[in-house]
Amino acid sequence: MATIGQWWDKIYHFTSCLSPWVIAASVIAIANLKVLPFAWHIRILSGYLKYFYFDRRSIPPSSPTSLTVFQPTIYTSRAPMGELDYNMHKSNATYLTDLDIARGYHVYCLFRVGIKKYNTGAERRKGMFIPALGGVTLTFKREIKPYQKYDIWTRVLSWDDKWVYLVSHFVKAGSVKPTTFTDHPWRNKSPSSREPSASTAATPQVIIFTMCISKYAMKQGRKTIPPVEFLQACELLPKTTDETPVSDPSDVSVGGTPGLTQRLSTHRATSNPESGLLDAIEKRRQEGLGVAKNVASLDQAFEWFRGDEDAVFAYY
């Protein structure tokens, strides 16, 4: 067996045969793996393969104090040299590439049960099922410096009769440390190890770089699957057998049509074992819906295109 010294001699002999340009190009490529050709496709595909071919676990159930449908997933990345702009920080356009990957992992992880049902299982219908991205809005707060590490926290913000809204936050890595991982229990530490010591009792400052809200329509061929129906198939919302609708004037979606409680057609009676869970989910959904309405109203900007009225200042 070759010793470390012998391996080093082989590496040195190999590199000495290469030109300085090849070595420099290799170093640059390694330092920018994230932005190399087909890197985006590989990152997306790895998440898909993980949750549809290797990870076949069921979704952990929700409770009134732990709403699985709203729990975030975390995707970690850095800003390599190839993503920097002339200000020497992460370019605005590259946030969208990271969001593709982070949202992909979140959708594949949280919605994996429902996607499998609609594509190959009991809910399969005509046409392929895909979560179709319908819009993205970004708000910048702080810059991300070269090669700085950051976490992308993605979670379900709310939903209405057509769209499922996701919110993503770019957060400085390490500024927020989860206490438990619902879907990755092997990452959980013992309770004693989570207790902060006297020297680390102070909570670190949470640094948020950017916030993004995205909206998805769940499409089966040309048909749009109602979000409530899809989330029930994902085992993230309880299915009820009571067919008596609840009339709640405050429970409306963005378009003014019946919201979650009416769509589930369930009583709020205390005798219903699912009533506490449904109330907790609906309360959280309504809170997020207040923000989601602002995103939905952006569709009105399509009417501002007036190519037949406005003079064109320049053409390039």
Q: What is the pLDDT of residues 195-210, one digit of tens each?
A: 544 444 455 688 999 9
**Residue range of the domain that includes 134:** 15-177+206-240+271-296
**pLDDT classification of 87: cutoffs 50, 70, 90:** very high
Closest CA to 154 of 171, 179, 129, 175: 171
Highest mean pLDDT among 54-58, 233-237, 304-308: 233-237
Count of domains in the chain?
1
Q: Give yes or no for residue 45 having a pLDDT over 60.
A: yes
Average pLDDT, whole number, for the chain? 81
The count of other CB atoms within 10 Å of the CB of residue 94 is: 18
Residue 198 belongs to some domain of the structure? no
Span 13-35, average pLDDT: 78
Span 222-231, mean pLDDT?
A: 93
On whether residue 183 sits in a domain, the answer given is: no
* Residue 139, φ and ψ in degrees, nearest 5: -130, 125
How many C-beta neighbours within 10 Å does residue 22 have? 11
Q: How far apart are CA 174 and CA 153, in angstroms?
A: 12
β-pair type (208-220, 149-159): unpaired
Name the CA dihedral angle for 204, 137, 291, 77, rounded to a multiple of 10 degrees: -30
263 located within any domain:
no
The string of pLDDT tens digits covering residues 132-175 is 999 999 999 999 999 999 999 999 999 999 999 999 999 999 88
Whether 194 is covered by a domain: the verdict is no
Two tokens, residue 238? 């309880």
- At residue 249, the pLDDT reads 41
pLDDT of residue 188: 80
Under DSSP, the state recorded for 66 is B
Burial zone of 66 (CB within 10 Å; 0-12 exposed, 13-18 middle, 19+ buried): middle
Place of tokens 């979560």: 131
CB of 29 closer than 8 Å to CB of 39 = no
Structural domain includes residue 229: yes
pLDDT tops 60 at residue 98: yes
- Residue 39: the pLDDT is 92
- pLDDT, residue 200, reads 44
Confidence band, pLDDT 50/70/90 cuts, at residue 245: very low
| CB distance 188 to 75 below 8 Å | no
Q: Are strands 73-78 and 149-159 parallel, antiparallel or unpaired?
A: antiparallel
Give domain status of residue 313, yes or no: no
The pLDDT tens digits for 99-119 are: 999 999 999 999 999 998 898
pLDDT at 18: 67
Task: Using the predicted structure, report yes or no on whether residue 92 has a pLDDT greater than 90.
Answer: yes
Residue 37 belongs to some domain of the structure: yes
Q: What is the CATH number of the domain that holds 127?
A: 3.10.129.10
